[in-house]
Amino acid sequence: MVYNFSAAKLLNTQLPVACGLCNAPTNSHLPLCQPCRDELPAIGNACRYCAQPVPATGQCGSCQQKRPSCDDVHALLLYQESVSFLVQQFKFSRKLEYSRLFSEMLAEKLFTLDKHPDVLIPVPLHSNRLLSRGYNQAWELVRHLSKITGIPSSHRVCLRIKKTPLQTSLKASERRRNLKQAFAVRKDVKGLHICIVDDVMTTGSTLEAIASMLKSAGAGRVTGMVVARAVL
């Protein structure tokens, strides 16, 4: 995995943009100034299998009772007010410039991992929702993350084949039922280390549904990476 310093340097020569939180000039290509970035709520110690905050490194009680299909999950930030605002702008208001910010932060985390994935994939959207929204925010993250790290990416490994209601207002059990048979693996993944990328992890139902299918299809290892983790 090689960081694309040339691309980053070129981007930094572009005109500075305004910070998405305080509106001050950022003096870089990224839409967040350094003081605001420093104040983002980092997640700290988290469960290795679900990224839920824990007092010390290791597993949370839930994952000790039943281990999820993901071999490891990494979240950058807590899904609190400032992070929620940025993610919502990125996801629903076409602020695609935030994909560069989040992808560079995800890349920094990827570089710290002992085992780097063979391929990056996004959490897929159903074709109807993709058409109405115009883009898949998870794929925007993956595209930039792939350019930065040099890790191959694909949006065709896993597809969303069932249209489901939005997960936002559903309880954990309802989310699991909602996602039953919602995804399908369409490429050969045998023996591969696959990293699933998404913007926000709430209950983990989506990652679990995809990771379970990938493992059933023969994936050797599945990692989850998200920008933010909601604390339940």
The pTM of the full predicted model, rounded to 2 decimals, is: 0.88
* Structural domains of the chain, with CATH: 42-229 (3.40.50)
Token reading at 144: 């930039």
In tens, the pLDDT along 69-112 reads 999 999 999 999 999 999 999 999 999 999 999 999 999 999 99
In tens, the pLDDT along 26-54 reads 988 899 999 999 999 999 999 999 999 99
27-55 burial by CB neighbour count: b if 16+ within 10 A, else e?
ebbbbbbeebeeebeebeebbbbbbbebe
Q: With CA atoms as reference, report the closest residue to 74 among 57, 97, 96, 91.
A: 57
